[in-house]
Amino acid sequence: MNVLVLALANVRALRRRLYGLMALVAVAVALCLGALGVADRAQGATDSKVTESAANRSITVDRPDDRPGTAPLTDHTAGRLARLPGVVSVQHRAQVSFSVSTEEGDTALLYATTHRAALTPPVTRSVRKRVFPLRPGEIVAPATAQGVDLSRLVGREVEVETIRFVRPGEGTGVTGRARLVGVYDPSWQLDGPDATYADDATVIQWAAQRAGRPTDDYLGAVGYDQLTVVARTADDVPGVLRAVQDRGYPAVTLRQQLAALPAVLELVRVVGLVLLAVLGVLAFAGAVTVTGALSRRRAQEIGVLKAVGFRTRAVLTMLVAEMALAGAAAALVGTALGALLGGAGAALMRGSADLAPYAVDRVPLPTLGAVVAVLGLTVLVVTAGALGPARRAAAMSPVDAMREW
């Protein structure tokens, strides 16, 4: 009889005695694959977003104040840059300071900024679902600025004060009203600390007023503070950057975007790796214990096999193959359980606003290579654990094996 066929028959006959080991291995495999699957798919989603996000494809072009021969950042300049190969859009930024006063007498110095679609701030509270584009007279400010809590003013009109140019070095305050329609996370500072977004016309009006120039003339004479050039793909960024810099403009790529998993997902990844190590220890110890116990209980069976002509190597192969088959079956069951566990984890993540973007798969599992590696490692460790007790059992003489052992 073939040794492997005999081993399979023995596994079926001894399945009740193997349930403990198989359950231990299956649960450990499920926990490992579930945790690693959630973390791996979340990291994949993050990497994809970082690679092709608008922020990652953006190039910031600053005003060429120290380069007299370079044209200012006007609409004409934006049009020229938009025609460069690999460019999909050019978005402008103008910025001017102003102050906001609350009814309690608190004042915060803010910076009115035109909104760029490629760099939309993370709005945490607003009067409508899509607050951008802004309407005339509307602003979106940081939730807190200089110790002033602005989030409680969402939906209300606030008093603003801008500066009108009088003469060089002197200006006068101009009081007005604006409606705060949203606030964003103040830790987001791609447009500088305390940037407050307003519609383009309002920002240009305030900037022209501060510079002492007519509003219609301001963009042509002074221009924008910055332009954001958005490349078609991440691979186009280096070429577009060189083309912009060759035209005399100071430009840098913008890559300030979350590139790591949230802390809770990083914890899941660490737990998965720890469980992988624990899986190895448990599988090895379980295989040693179960193989030793079964060998002692099956001493007479081993003696009969050796008496009818089975060699030591054949008996050893049979005993080790039994544990390998049990480990493989447990690993497959664990994979199915891991898929269920990962699916449940992904469902919980979709219920969280912070974690939902990372739950891209309904049944998150690691890559096929990682799954195969875990399954192979499980069988290998179980086999290694069974090798010692099986070798001692297989090495006994038929006479000794027939005795109580």
Give, for all 405 residues of the chain, the pLDDT tens digit: 577 777 777 777 777 777 777 777 777 777 776 666 655 555 554 444 444 456 678 889 998 888 878 889 999 999 999 999 999 999 999 999 999 998 888 899 999 999 998 888 999 999 998 999 999 999 999 999 988 999 999 999 999 999 999 998 899 999 999 999 999 999 888 888 899 999 999 999 999 999 999 998 898 888 999 999 999 888 898 899 999 999 999 998 865 333 444 555 555 556 666 766 776 777 777 777 777 777 666 666 777 777 777 787 887 888 788 888 888 888 888 788 877 777 776 666 556 555 555 555 555 666 677 778 878 887 888 888 878 877 777 777 766 656 644
Query: Of the candidates 238, 254, 270, which is a domain's last residue?
Result: 254
Pair (267, 395) in one structural domain: yes
Q: Which pair of tokens denotes residue 393?
A: 């059992």
Q: Are residues 239 and 362 in the same domain?
A: no
43 with 124, same domain? no
- Measured on CA atoms in the order 22, 25, 28, 34, is the torsion positive or negative? negative
- Residue 382 shares a structural domain with residue 291: yes
> Can you give the pTM of this predicted structure?
0.52
Show the tokens assigned to 224: 């924008």
- Distance in angstroms (rounded) separating the CA atoms of residues 184 and 375: 46
Q: Which of 209, 232, 254 is the last residue of a domain?
A: 254
Distance CA(142)–CA(121), nearest Å, equals 9
Half-sphere exposure of residue 256, counting CA atoms within 13 Å on the CB side? 13
Q: How long a stretch of residues is the chain?
A: 405
Rounded to 5 degrees, φ, ψ at 316 are -60, -45
Q: Are strands 157-167 and 170-184 parallel, antiparallel or unpaired?
A: antiparallel
Beta bridge partners of 97: 111
Check: CB of residue 323 under 8 Å from CB of residue 17. no
Same domain, 245 and 329: no
What domain count does the chain have? 2
Burial 105-134 (b: 16+ CB within 10 A, else e): eeebebbbbbbbebbbbebbbbeeeebbeb
Say if residue 372 is in the same domain as residue 283: yes
Residues 195 and 170 in one domain: yes
- Per the structure, the complete domain to which residue 162 belongs is given by 58-254
Q: Which of 237, 254, 271 is the last residue of a domain?
A: 254
CA 23 to chain centre: 33
82 and 182 inside one domain:
yes
pLDDT of residue 211: 92
User: If we measure between CA atoms, which residue out of 90, 95, 93, 94 comes closest to residue 58?
Assistant: 90
Picking from 318, 290, 263, 305, the residue whose alpha carbon sits closest to that of residue 386 is 290
Please check whether residues 103 and 170 belong to one and the same domain: yes
The reported pLDDT for the residue numbered 275 is 65
145, 147, 153, 154: CA torsion to nearest 10: 40
- Shared domain for 234 and 293, answered yes or no, is no
In this structure, the answer to whether residues 161 and 239 fall within a common structural domain is yes
